Amino acid sequence: MSRSQAEALLLEVSRYTCDLAQRGVTLFGVGELGMANTTPAAAMVSVFTGSDAKEVGGDWRESSAFPHR
């Protein structure tokens, strides 16, 4: 995907999301498919909600994030 295609996609999704919000939708989900896409999904949630990035995605550098290991 080229940069211009990615920018166009982001603008279109933004317009679509705003339209849904104006129609009364109050809950949106951000998903991902595949490895390393959790980071962009968490970044978008952080920006859209005004939340701290660590609150949304956690600090995966901390060993406490992996209690099962």
- Cβ pair 42, 56 in contact under 8 A: yes
Q: Which residue range forms the structural domain that includes residue 22?
A: 3-58
User: What percent of the chain is modeled with pLDDT above 70?
Assistant: 74
Model confidence, pTM:
0.50
Alpha-carbon distance of 52 to 50, in angstroms, equals: 7
Alpha-carbon distance of 34 to 60, in angstroms, equals: 17
Residue whose C-alpha is closest to residue 40's, from 62, 63, 10 = 10
Q: Which helix (H) or strand (E) holds 40?
A: helix 38-49
Residue 65 in any domain: the answer is no
Coil/strand/helix, residue 61: coil
Residue 69 in any domain: the answer is no
Q: How many domains does the chain have?
A: 1
User: What percent of the chain is modeled with pLDDT above 90?
Assistant: 19
**Residue 27 pLDDT > 80, yes or no?**
yes
